[in-house]
Amino acid sequence: MKAVKEKTKGVVLVIDDDTLVRRMLCAALNKMEFETIEAPTGVSGLLEYKKCKPGIVITDLMMPDGNGFETILKIRAEDPDVRIIAMSSGGSSNDGDFLEATRELGARATIRKPFTVEDVRQALAVALKDSVK
């Protein structure tokens, strides 16, 4: 992991307490030529965000230490222009409601678990669009 001095769209912070999901997502992003930074909790994710100022954040919603909702709000308070993608399990209809609610908090796109590389690619395309509706 390289230290990043300025915010850049090419760096993605991935926050997820599931190590396998986090590493698989980072591997897919690396193949798409993004630099990645990993954090296993919302609290550590916020610290990494402050340290590295990545242009994109992908955060899980359900984590034991600093959930994704809090993480989105705190990162958005640091930088209202950061591109945030919220991620959650597609196991129940409630998760869908949670994902949609993150848009009100500032997430530009969502990814439902389990996801494909194409799901990630599409969420990145939405998050990187210049205008937010």
Lowest mean pLDDT among 5-14, 19-28, 109-118: 5-14
pLDDT at 8: 52
**Distance from C-alpha of 62 to C-alpha of 37, rounded to nearest angstrom:** 19
Helices (H), the chain: 19-31, 42-52, 68-78, 93-105, 117-128
Q: For residue range 31-83, list pLDDT tens digits in order.
A: 999 999 999 999 999 999 999 999 999 999 998 887 899 999 999 999 999 99
- Say yes or no to pLDDT of 133 above 50: no
The torsion angle over the Cα atoms of residues 103, 76, 8 and 109, rounded to 10 degrees, is: -10
Q: Residue 16 phi/psi, 5° resolution?
A: -160, 135
Q: Which domains does the chain have, with CATH numbers?
A: 12-128 (3.40.50.2300)
